[in-house]
Amino acid sequence: MIIWLNGGFGAGKTTLAGELHRRLPEAVVFDPEELGITLWRWVPRNEDFQDLDSWRELVVHTALALRRHHAEVLIVPMALVRDAYREEILGGLAAAGEEILHVFLDLDLAVQRDRLLSRAPEGEVPPGAEEWAFSRLDPDAAARQPEGTLILRSDRLGPGELADQVLAALPG
C-alpha cells in the first residue's frame, strides 16, 4: 500500500506523514523532494524540479522499489499541484500494480498563507521563496482530485484526527 499525501504547500503533509509513521513504525516515509534536490546537483537547475521528466520517472521507480523491497506501507508526503503530473505519477504506480490511498489535504487559503509565512523566521527564507510558494496556491485543487481521493480539511482537524481518518480509509 502506498499512502500518498497530497495538498498545497503548508497543508500539513509532512506533519501527517510523521503522525502516520509514529502509528505505523514499520512503514517507510519517502520524500520525493529529496530526489528533486539531488537531480539539481546533476542537471541544470530549473524553476521547479517537478517539471523535469526525469524527476517524475524517478519518483515512480523509487516508490516502487522502496515499497517492493523495504516496506508493506510507503508514506509519501508530496504536493502534486499539476494535475497532469499527479496523473502521470499515481497512474504509473497503479499501472505497476500498487494499491494507492490518495489523500488530499485541503484548507482555507488564508490559513495556508499564514502557515507558509510562519514556516521560517524572517531572513532565513531564500529570496523569492515566499512568492514562488504563493504562486502555486490553488484554492480549487480539491475539486479537481480524482475519484476515490480521500479529501480531508487540515485546517479543521489536527494531525491525530487526520491520521485517524487516513487509517480508517485503509483497506482491510
Going from the first residue of the chain to its last (172 residues), give the mean pLDDT of each consecutive group of 10, the final group possibly shorter. 92 95 98 96 94 98 98 96 95 98 89 67 56 66 94 95 98 84
What pLDDT does 140 receive? 85
What pLDDT does 109 receive? 76
What pLDDT does 113 receive? 72
pLDDT, tens digit (0-9, with 9 covering 90-100), for 26-40: 999 999 999 999 999
Sign of the alpha-carbon dihedral angle for 80, 85, 87, 90: negative
What pLDDT does 11 receive? 87
What pLDDT does 100 receive? 98
Topology adopted by domain 2-107+148-169: Rossmann fold (3.40.50)
Domain extents for the chain? 2-107+148-169
Strand 2-7 to 28-29 pairing: unpaired
What pLDDT does 132 receive? 58
State the helix-helix crossing angle for 53-70 and 83-95, rounded to 10 degrees. Answer: 40
